[in-house]
Amino acid sequence: MDLRQLNYFITIVEEKQITKAAKRLHMAQPPLSNQLKVMETELNCKLLDRNGRALELTEPGKILYEKGKALLANFEDTISEIKEIGEGLKGVLSIGADQTCLSYLPEKIKLMHERYPNLCFKIIEGDSFFLKKSLINKEIDLAILQQPIENDNFFSIGLDLEEFVLATPVQWKLPNPIQIEDLKDLPFLSFYRHRSCSTFRIIIDEFKRHGFEPNIICECIDIAMVISLINEGLGVTILPKTSLDKCSNQGIQIISFKNCNIQSNATIVWSKDRYLAKHAMNFLELFTEETHLLTMGTICQSQ
């Protein structure tokens, strides 16, 4: 079995149909079906079972898919590293971002586009739980998310601290600044996908520090929707100040805290066990040009 056949098999698994896989691979269906038979004959086992129109993995097939996907990812990393030695810079920079950290990206991506016009960008939004998993699975190059990371698999650069603020319906006429205890009986809107995400835990821990837990009446994965609910007078939420920039603030009052220790502690993160491509290193430099927290040599040492 060679890498080409392994790629055929992985594509079939992901598409769940040989017809769709053949289309994705830009080849005819019969040769692809034949390659699958050749692989099963060589390995002396069934790799896929047909369930109606879809194909499902057998137990041997599951092992081949998991190991094979990792093998192809490592092979692609090797090829990328070799290509980056040459002149010129093309490709796709995949960046993950927590919704509360999206405000860090527009200026930096504009600078990258000006410096490297042949580079394309892919932005993946998600909470810290999702983004860390995406980094480990090598689905993104790097991510901007909230600390704490609590994972030894990553290198990171801390970004500027930013205050969290209260977003509340303007008609509620709450005091500004406000004390955290004043939120005890207010309906709270949470926008986190996963309760183990860093930002959710930071906010909940701050409430507990003041002796109570928030009255969460709604959980939503989208900040814009949470803002719309606040507009309707449904409740309040706590966000980093700049994360409100992309939302319409009409009908929203932004209030500072008197006694709240929550700060947005964003960090840019990348995996320790993955080759960091040149375009990703260049993106990291945009942050270090301002902060001088990391030199190019330090980044190279992380490889």
pLDDT of residue 90: 72
Q: Cβ distance 254 to 244 under 8 Å?
A: yes
Q: Are residues 209 and 227 in the same domain?
A: yes
Q: What pLDDT does 158 receive? A: 87
Number of domains the chain contains: 3
Flag whether pLDDT at 150 surpasses 90: no
Check whether residue 258 and residue 271 sit in a common domain.
no
If asked whether residues 180 and 257 sit together in one domain, one would say yes
CATH code, domain with 229: 3.40.190.10
Is the confidence at residue 57, as pLDDT, over 80?
yes
Domain end among 83, 111, 135: 83
pLDDT for 196: 60
Residue 301: which pLDDT band, with cuts at 50, 70 and 90?
very low
Q: Are 229 and 168 in contact (CB under 8 A)?
A: no
The answer on 175 and 116 residing in a single domain is no
The residue segments making up the domain with residue 274 are 91-160+266-301
8 Å CB contact between 275 and 299: no
Q: How confident is the model at residue 116 (pLDDT cuts 50, 70, 90)?
A: confident
Radius of gyration (C-alpha) of the chain in whole angstroms: 24
% of the chain surpassing 90 pLDDT: 44
Torsional class of 106: left (φ above 0), alpha (ψ -120 to 50), beta (otherwise): alpha
pLDDT in tens, 1-20: 888 999 999 999 999 999 99
Residues 282 and 145 in one domain: yes
Same domain? For 77 and 102 the reply is no
Domain boundary among 56, 83, 110: 83
Task: Please tell me whether residues 75 and 117 are part of one structural domain.
Answer: no
Asked if residue 100 and residue 61 are part of one domain, the reply reads: no
pLDDT at residue number 92: 85
* 34 band by pLDDT with thresholds 50, 70 and 90: very high
SS3 at position 154: strand
**Choice between 98 and 90, residue whose per-residue pLDDT is larger:** 98
More reliable by pLDDT, 259 or 8: 8
Which of 83, 110, 141 is the last residue before a domain boundary? 83
Res 169: pLDDT: 93
Write down the pLDDT at residue 8. Answer: 93
Asked whether residue 40 falls in the same domain as residue 16, the answer is: yes
Give the Cβ contact number of residue 250 at 10 Å: 8
Looking at the fold, whether 186 and 218 belong to one and the same domain comes out as yes
DSSP label of 109: H
**What pLDDT, on the 0 to 100 scale, is given for residue 188?**
95
pTM of the full predicted structure? 0.62
Looking at residue 251, its amino acid is G
Query: For residue 118, what pLDDT is reported?
Result: 81
User: Domain containing 72 — which CATH number?
Assistant: 1.10.10.10
Give me the residues paired with residue 154 across strands: 271
In this structure, the answer to whether residues 203 and 254 fall within a common structural domain is: yes
Please state, in angstroms and as integers, the Cα–Cα distance from residue 241 to each residue in 93, 206, 253, following that order.
Answer: 27, 17, 12
Query: Which tokens hold the place of 228?
Result: 């719309």
Q: Does one domain contain both 111 and 180?
A: no
Average pLDDT (208-220) is 91
CA distances from 265 to 98, 251, 257, 269 (A): 12, 27, 17, 13
- What's the DSSP call for residue 259? S
Whether pLDDT at 30 is above 90: yes
**Band of pLDDT at residue 76, cut at 50, 70 and 90:** confident
Q: Per-residue pLDDT averaged across 260-266, rounded?
A: 79
Would you say residue 212 has pLDDT above 90? yes
